[in-house]
Amino acid sequence: MGIGTWSWGNQLLWGYNEEMDDELQQVFNLCVSKGIRLFDTGDSYGTGRLNGQSEKLLGKFMEEYARQNGGVYPNIGTKFASYPWRLTVGRNKACDESAERLRRPVDIGQIHWSTANYFPWQERVLWESLVSLYKSGRCRAVGVSNYGPQQLRKIHAFLQDNGVPLASNQIQYSLLSRTVGEEVKEVCDELGIAMIAYSPLGLGLLSGRYQSKDDLPKGPRGFVFRERVEEVAPLLECLREVADQRGKTIAQVAINWCLCKDTIPIPGAKSLKQAEENLGAVGWRLTMSEVEVLDLAAKRVPRELVQNIFQTK
Ligand SMILES: NC(=O)c1ccc[n+]([C@@H]2O[C@H](COP(=O)([O-])OP(=O)(O)OC[C@H]3O[C@@H](n4cnc5c(N)ncnc54)[C@H](OP(=O)(O)O)[C@@H]3O)[C@@H](O)[C@H]2O)c1
């Protein structure tokens, strides 16, 4: 399991403010001390004047943790936004800027999204940039995000021809977003690519915290959840039954389901309490029959969560 840090710097969707930083340092410390070795970030994470804040906080937290614990560093996977002005192989610059914010070289450099759906001619430049990042030694490994089965095969073949291994593909995958993930997982397995499951808690809907229209998060998530809380209720009930039998929480079971599907979930955590709970998702496994019961309950939910607009075929 890794930890997602999209919310660290995002005021608009996640209600971040800088007063949270001390607690986020504690979240980071706890996770690393409990063995978490992957943090996910992106150069576009952070809203307005806080652009790049997630990488900056990780840089600061890593330095502080390493100072206190004799140079222990986790791996950082960052994602380079496929902005239209990043048209040249000059994406090395984006990586150098991320490394500056992280105060360390980038471990896994990923294309945040493919441009195949809207600027197909930019796509090849993105692929070439991964070759350049890997061969110049700027990133220890390279990966992609929001690549569907077809596009994944194409970039894998291109990188292979250029002698570059494709380490990972990051996809929205949870009990509320299974269809695309299942198709992608088959290709990942065939090609030897790790599948990183983002939004494994369905943006918080699978934490069990939001169960009625009177108790929803502020902002855009509240609008999405308003339409979904009722139809997700039977799935949450099923999660609760499994959780009670196991002495776990709903969130822990939802994350463990992703682990049982042989993916690497990267749940977001905004507080020490959430991080502590989510860390309890590892070190045990749901049985096959528990997974089947959850699969069935998930299939009965009328709609999955909306896919990322950049998700390709
Ligand atoms: N590649 C991409 O395009 C992409 C897209 C999306 C996300 N990601 C990555 O995936 C990571 C995880 O996805 P996500 O943050 O979108 O969603 P998520 O992991 O499904 O949900 C995270 C949110 O759920 C709530 N939560 C977490 N643990 C909880 C707990 N134990 N109890 C109650 N509530 C809890 C928190 O929000 P509240 O407290 O506000 O409810 C938290 O911010 C991101 O941080 C990011 O690194 C990547």
**For 154-197, what is each residue's pLDDT tens digit?**
999 999 999 999 999 999 999 999 999 999 999 999 999 999 99
Is residue 151 assigned to a domain? yes
Is residue 42 assigned to a domain? yes
Q: Which residues pair with 4 in a beta bridge?
A: 40, 268
- Write down the pLDDT at residue 234: 97
- Write down the pLDDT at residue 90: 62
Please give all residues whose beta carbon lies within 6 A of any atom in ligand 1, as ranges: 4-7, 14, 40, 79, 145-146, 170, 198-204, 207, 209, 217, 251, 266-270, 274, 277-278, 308
> How many residues are present in the chain?
313
Residue 137 sits in a domain of what CATH number? 3.20.20.100
Is residue 249 assigned to a domain? no
Is residue 168 assigned to a domain? yes
Pair of tokens at residue 278: 């989510």
> What's the 136 CA to ligand 1 centre distance in angstroms?
33
Distances (CA, A) of 119 to 115, 126, 142: 5, 11, 22
Is residue 13 assigned to a domain? yes
Number of domains forming the structure of the chain: 1
Is residue 37 assigned to a domain? yes
Residue type, position 281, single letter: A
Residue to mutate (ligand 1; options 203, 205, 308, 309; most atoms within 8 A of CB): 203
- pLDDT at position 75 over 70: yes
Contact present, 270 and 6 (Cβ < 8 Å): no
- Write down the pLDDT at residue 87: 77
Mean pLDDT over all residues of the chain? 96
Is residue 92 assigned to a domain? yes
> What's the 204 CA to ligand 1 centre distance in angstroms?
6
- Smallest Cα–Cα separation from 256: which of 182, 171, 175, 193? 175
Report the alpha-carbon distance of residue 73 to residue 288 in Å, rounded.
35
- pLDDT at position 20 over 90: yes
Pairing of the two strands 106-111 and 75-80:
parallel
- Write down the pLDDT at residue 86: 83
Contact present, 174 and 228 (Cβ < 8 Å): no
- Write down the pLDDT at residue 105: 97
Residue 18 lies in domain: 3-203+261-284
What is the mean predicted confidence (pLDDT) over 263-284?
98
DSSP for residue 259? H
Is residue 239 assigned to a domain? no
